[in-house]
């Protein structure tokens, strides 16, 4: 059995201590008031760099266990341009590969992605869209004949308001399933801001299709809340479940990796 695996502008304050006559000050003040916004605008950069780190009760991806019910440490870096272009890297501790085959030693997932997202007005409504490519990489040691889990997906998504639909298609074998090229994942999500306690309601349902392995296809869903704690911190809790077949998604230690769970994480964004 192969265990199936499934995301500045800076304002400078300049203090000037200048001895001026009253008349000179009156003349200089309007000029300063007029030019200061232009100077500040000139400093606005189209480039934004951010980083993030997360501690999670466990790593779940597309509903499935990635750390066999153990906590996960995660983090990454992102670059975005004002045009909508972006690049990023995200990483997490994992155990699912070793849990599926004791001869495998690959404790880290490394994701590399890039794409373009922006908004477009259609029918008088402003729609969000996102297109890109994502590479999942798992450095480690693998026995001869083991199907490598490395996976490349292209994706396209569109949404309105808090609702977003995303379609991802694998250009390679999918996470270690042999002959599974062109498998796909369809994801419908909603992130609805609530009017109290800086909470956001998170809802999701997704369908994972695995080509030529019908028993490996399944649906996953999630319902949760995210709390903005301020200063770049966010706390998230959720209920996660799937209808994945136990015959496919039970690892070597005997644990069903699609089992329902309560999940929590805390994230710091820099």
Which CATH number do you get for residue 195?
2.40.160.40
Burial class (CB in 10 A: 0-12, 13-18, 19+), 127: middle
Backbone angles phi, psi at 49, to 5 degrees: -115, 130
Question: Does the reported pTM lie above 0.75?
Answer: yes
CA angle 168, 170, 171 (to 5 degrees): 130
What is the C-alpha to C-alpha distance for residues 206 and 220, in angstroms, rounded to an integer? 5
What is the C-alpha to C-alpha distance for residues 66 and 105, in angstroms, rounded to an integer? 14
pLDDT beneath 50, residues of the chain: 1-4, 6-34
Residue 9 within a domain: no
Residue 7 within a domain: no
Residue 65 within a domain: yes
Residue 188 within a domain: yes
Which parts of the chain fold into alpha helices (H)? 22-42, 96-100
Q: Which residues pair with 235 in a beta bridge?
A: 227, 266
pLDDT value at residue 39 = 53
pLDDT value at residue 25 = 30
Residue 218 within a domain: yes
First-to-last alpha carbon distance for the chain, in angstroms, is 40
Of residues 90, 203, 212, the one with CA closest to residue 147: 212
Residue 14 within a domain: no
Question: How many domains are there within the chain?
Answer: 1
pLDDT value at residue 37 = 55
Domain carrying residue 84: 22-269
What is the C-alpha to C-alpha distance for residues 129 and 116, in angstroms, rounded to an integer? 8
| Tokens describing residue 225 | 């809340």
Residue 1 within a domain: no
Q: Which residues pair with 132 in a beta bridge?
A: 115, 155
pLDDT value at residue 38 = 54
Residue 15 within a domain: no
pLDDT value at residue 43 = 78
Q: How far is CA 77 from the centre of its chain?
A: 11
pLDDT value at residue 15 = 37
Answer yes or no: are the C-beta atoms of 71 and 264 closer than 8 Å.
Answer: no
């Amino acid at each position: 059995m192969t265990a199936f695996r499934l995301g500045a502008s800076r304002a400078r304050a300049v203090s000037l201590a200048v001895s001026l006559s009253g008349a000179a000050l009156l003349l200089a003040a309007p000029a300063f008031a007029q030019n200061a916004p232009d100077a500040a605008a000139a400093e606005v950069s189209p480039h934004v760099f951010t980083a993030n780190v997360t501690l999670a009760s466990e790593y779940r991806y597309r509903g499935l266990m990635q750390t066999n019910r153990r906590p996960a440490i995660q983090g990454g870096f992102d670059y975005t341009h004002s045009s909508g272009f972006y690049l990023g890297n995200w990483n997490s501790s994992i155990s699912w590969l070793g849990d599926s085959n004791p001869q495998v030693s690959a404790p880290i997932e490394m994701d590399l992605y890039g794409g373009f997202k922006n908004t477009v007005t259609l029918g008088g409504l402003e729609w969000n869209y996102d297109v890109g490519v994502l590479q999942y990489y798992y450095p480690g040691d693998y026995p001869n004949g083991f199907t490598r889990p490395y996976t490349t997906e292209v994706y396209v998504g569109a949404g309105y308001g808090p609702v977003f639909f995303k379609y991802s298609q694998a250009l390679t074998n999918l996470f270690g399933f042999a002959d599974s090229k062109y498998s796909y994942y369809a994801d419908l999500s909603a992130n609805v801001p609530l009017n109290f306690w800086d909470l956001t309601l998170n809802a999701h349902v997704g369908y994972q299709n695995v080509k030529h392995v019908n028993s490996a296809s399944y649906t996953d869903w999630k319902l949760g809340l995210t709390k903005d704690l301020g200063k770049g911190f966010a706390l998230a809790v959720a209920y996660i479940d799937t209808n994945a077949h136990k015959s496919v998604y039970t690892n070597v230690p005997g644990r069903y990796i699609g089992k329902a769970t309560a999940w929590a994480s805390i994230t710091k964004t820099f």
